[in-house]
Amino acid sequence: MATRILSGVQPSGQLHLGNYFGAIKQHIELQDLPGAEPYYFIADFHAMTTVQDAAKLREFVTGVALDYLALGLDSKKAVFFRQSDVPEVAELAWMLSCVTGMGLLERAHSYKDKTAKGLKPSVGLFYYPVLMAADILIYKSKLVPVGQDQVQHVEMTQDMAQYFNNIYGCEVLVRPEAKLNETAKVPGVDGEKMSKSYGNTIDLQMEGAELKKRVMSVKTDSTPVDQPKNPETCNVFALYKLVASPEETKELEAQYRAGGLGYGDAKKKLLAKIDEFFEPYRETRKDLAKNLDHVEQVLRDGAARARAVARQTLDECKKASGLS
């Protein structure tokens, strides 16, 4: 039987190296897993918890669609769509909210982290994990590839599925499992986790002088040029490893350990590799951006396929709960 894989990405800004190596790369690779049925979507409902400017939200949605397609998402292999094009998910979220205790949501780390960072504690932000559970359950997803920060949400989804099935004495909802993305933490230019909210990102679309400035600003220690350097603790090296081949990585590691290579030169090597790695993507993205109608069509076709599945599950849930 096919393994349904599902993941969503929020259109809340420009995508960066952390998003690519931490999430998108795996999503795209999973397209070719034998027996996989991948569903990927742009979580625009979720982004409304933070992006409250209509033009910006539209721009970010288009941006994420262009990014995924330019990075290799194949709409013949994966169902790719916009979350809000499948409004059934909001109906299922309501049903789940009625079988879920407040205590479960009150334990959510992401809500606590986001409000601690100053985000307005809206009902939507609190309800976020219920909508995410509906996203996962409505497609009867088995595997959910996410970063560490989302694992708790998948565990909450398992609980919500069980509450629903127990209360209504049915087996409609399928228990999903989180699949941890391989690259745990890509450092930003300041050495902290690369994140839009820390302003320390290297964005996938950056090029030329802007990219150079970012790369040259990666934080290093003050080991003098002639001294040996420790690749394991160096942010430049951590980023280089992601974009260079294993041989090139070994070569740079040897140069670090031998001494004689300055951080300025290491950063230039990093810059060249980032350019080489992402140049084809940037070109493809520019071409795709000339034909946004095509991009829109891909999302609509994806939504039609996703919606057929979502409707089926929703009908089963309605029957089980007495709504029909």
Q: Which active-site residues does the annotation give?
A: 114, 193, 196
Number of residues that bind ligand TRP (CB under 6 A): 12
Quick check: 132 binds ligand TRP (CB under 6 A)?
Answer: yes
* Options 5, 79, 146, 252; binder of ligand ADP; rule CB under 6 A: 146
Q: Which does 46 bind (CB under 5 to 8 A by kind): ligand TRP, ligand ADP, none?
A: ligand TRP
Q: Residue 62 or residue 152: which is nearer to ligand TRP going by CB?
A: 152
- When asked if residue 152 is in the footprint of ligand ADP (CB under 6 A), the reply is no
- Please state, in angstroms and rounded to a whole number, the distance separating the CA atoms of residues 82 and 62: 10
Report DSSP state, residue 73.
-
Distance CA 186, CA 164 (A): 37
Determine if 63 is a binding residue for ligand ADP (CB under 6 A): no
Q: How far is the CB of 238 from ligand ADP (least distance, A)?
A: 10
Rg (CA), the chain: 22
* Helix axes 292-321 and 88-97, enclosed angle (nearest 10): 40
Residue 111 CB, shortest distance to ligand TRP, in Å, is 11
Quick one: 120 exposed, middle or buried, by C-beta within 10 A (0-12, 13-18, 19+)? Answer: exposed
Q: How many CB atoms lie within 10 A of CB 264?
A: 11
Which of 15, 24, 42, 43 forms a contact with ligand TRP (CB under 6 A)? 43
CA distances from 168 to 139, 204, 252 (A): 19, 46, 60
For ligand ADP, the binding residue among 66, 78, 79, 186 (CB under 6 A) is: 186
Q: How far is the CB of 37 from ligand TRP (least distance, A)?
A: 15
Q: Cβ closer to ligand TRP: 46 or 269?
A: 46
> Which of 33-41, 93-101, 180-188, 236-244 is the region at the interface with ligand ADP (rule: CB under 6 A)?
180-188
From 15, 51, 144, 271, residue interacting with ligand TRP (rule: CB under 6 A) = 144
Handedness of CA 240, 241, 243, 246 (dihedral sign): positive
Where does the chain have alpha helices with state H?
17-19, 25-30, 44-47, 54-70, 88-97, 102-106, 109-116, 123-138, 151-167, 208-216, 235-243, 246-258, 263-289, 292-321
Which x/- pattern, by CB under 6 A, does the window 18-47 give for ligand ADP?
A: xx--xx------------------------
- Residues at the interface with ligand TRP (CB under 6 A): 6-8, 10, 43, 46, 132, 135-136, 144, 146, 150
